[in-house]
């Protein structure tokens, strides 16, 4: 199993720069503590090598993609945590006030439900009858809405994949 | 499942359930080392499926969310990197 100790500075910098660029383009911010943030980036690289996707470094992934969708970074809980605590669970992303140093960046409670309380993909998504010309899809990560037959391949705001969208209307 | 042991001053049972990729877990390990406390830890993400299930069953007893780090200090469980609480529980 990959223990994550073998990433080169170049590997880490590449992902770090990409995440930073994409975050800032969409109004999000990476944790300004670069050493801390790069440690998290190493965790993301390790999880990608291990599971095939960038599961949150601070949560235990099952290795089954459909069960881990909500914790693929950026996770489904990031935006609410930024609102409530100025940082996401692992503290890769922070709010503008935390970026400016106006609010502390400290550990926050886990918002993800306990293993026995999680809703599996497909569950709870009742078929919707609608009089709209198109279905409305919602990005579970950033809340972006679009009215079209299918969700986009990639969320134009937070860059997560199509699988992270839910039918909203 | 064999927990890893870190030598230090005996403060009773100090068991850390951690993830090898988690930065807050690493900070918890570093704090315990800085405090020179004897402790055991397991990186749950590095276990095989059977060991992982056993570890999760144990963590669930203390922390139903099964989040990391979960640090058991004698009969208390500190969830998350809570430096103040860890210091309080270990300063007896």
Here the tokens at position A121 are 């993909």
The three-class DSSP label of residue A156 is coil
Whether residues B66 and A115 touch (CB distance < 8 A) is answered with: yes
Phi-psi region of A64 (alpha: psi -120 to 50; beta: other; left: phi over 0): beta
* Residue pointed to by tokens 């440690």: A39
Is A4's pLDDT higher than 60?
Answer: no
Average pLDDT over residues A27-41: 97
Using omega within 30 degrees of 0 as the cis cutoff, is the peptide bond preceding B56 cis? no
Chain A hits for B21, CB-CB cut-off 8 Å, are: 4, 42-43, 46-47, 57-58
Average pLDDT over residues A156-162: 95
Q: Which domains does chain B have, with CATH numbers?
A: 4-81 (3.40.30.10)
Task: Record the pTM.
Answer: 0.91
Residue B19 buriedness (CB in 10 A; 0-12 / 13-18 / 19+)? buried
pLDDT bracket for residue A2 (50, 70, 90)? low
pLDDT of the residue at A122: 56
Chain B hits for A33, CB-CB cut-off 8 Å, are: none
Which residue among A57, A107, A115 sits closest to B21, beta carbon to beta carbon? A57
Condensed to tens digits (0 to 9), the pLDDT of residues A109-131 reads 999 999 988 876 555 555 667 78
Q: Does A59 touch chain B (CB under 8 A)?
A: yes
pLDDT bracket for residue A6 (50, 70, 90)? confident
Element (H, E) at B38: none
* ipTM of the shown complex: 0.94
Residue of B nearest to A92 (CA): B23
* Residue pointed to by tokens 């001053």: B9
Average pLDDT over residues A17-21: 97
Q: Does A110 touch chain B (CB under 8 A)?
A: yes
Q: Which of residues 32-51 of A touch B (CB under 8 A)?
A: 36, 39-40, 42-43, 46-47
């Amino acid at each position: 199993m990959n223990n994550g100790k073998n990433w080169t500075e170049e590997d880490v910098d590449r992902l770090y720069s990409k995440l930073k660029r994409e975050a800032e383009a969409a109004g999000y911010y990476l944790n300004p503590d670069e050493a801390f943030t790069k440690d998290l980036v190493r965790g993301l690289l390790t999880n990608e090598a291990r599971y095939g996707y960038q599961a949150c470094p601070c949560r235990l992934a099952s290795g089954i993609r459909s069960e881990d969708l909500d914790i693929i970074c950026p996770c489904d809980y990031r935006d609410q945590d930024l609102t409530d605590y100025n940082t996401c669970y692992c503290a890769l992303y922070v709010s503008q006030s935390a970026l400016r140093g106006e609010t502390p960046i400290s550990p926050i409670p886990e918002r993800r439900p306990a293993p026995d309380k999680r809703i599996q993909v497909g569950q709870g998504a009742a078929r919707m009858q609608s009089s709209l010309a198109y279905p409305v899809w919602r990005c579970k990560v950033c809340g972006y809405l679009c009215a079209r037959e299918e969700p986009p391949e990639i969320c134009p705001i937070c860059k997560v994949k199509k699988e992270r969208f839910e039918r909203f209307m | 499942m064999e927990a890893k042991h870190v030598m230090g001053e005996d403060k009773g049972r100090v068991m850390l359930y951690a993830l090898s990729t988690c930065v807050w877990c690493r900070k918890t390990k570093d704090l315990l080392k800085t405090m020179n406390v004897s402790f055991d830890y397991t990186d749950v993400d590095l276990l095989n499926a059977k060991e992982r299930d056993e570890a999760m069953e144990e963590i669930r007893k203390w922390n139903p969310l099964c989040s990391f780090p979960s640090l058991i200090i004698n009969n208390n469980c500190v969830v998350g990197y809570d430096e103040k609480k860890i210091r309080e529980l270990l300063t007896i």
